[in-house]
Homo-oligomer: A and B are copies of this chain.
């Protein structure tokens, strides 16, 4: 049933503006919830995470600004501004950030942990 009134709390978000306000590297800024999924922005540079897989969720990386790479066991994919990639659940991968990059991550809530974020995700 349509919920009149609740729409007052619905706010738009500009990805570049939200990412531009993130001064701390590797901090996950939650910018939305889509059903059971979280949307987080992360600003990163000069960091390679360990290979890992998310058993219970696919993971989407969208590049807001900059460049990064996703390594799989058998190949690497370079991502530039405006690109996205969806890593299926269970697939081993690692994000490789050399130059500065601002990324939007979408995956099921509960997927990110300190262990799979290099210790920087704080629920």
Q: A86, B16: Cβ atoms under 8 Å?
A: no
Q: Is the interface of A mostly helix, strand, loop or mixed?
A: mixed
Give how many copies assemble into the complex.
Answer: 2
What size tier do the contact residues of chain A reach?
A: 35 or more
Q: B15, A74: Cβ atoms under 8 Å?
A: no
| A5-13, A21-29, A42-50, A113-121: which lies at the interface | A5-13
Q: List 20 A–B pairs whose Cβ atoms lie within 8 Å, in order of A's numbering.
A: A1-B55, A3-B92, A4-B74, A6-B91, A7-B75, A7-B92, A7-B93, A10-B87, A11-B85, A12-B79, A12-B84, A12-B85, A13-B83, A15-B84, A32-B84, A33-B58, A33-B86, A34-B58, A35-B58, A37-B37
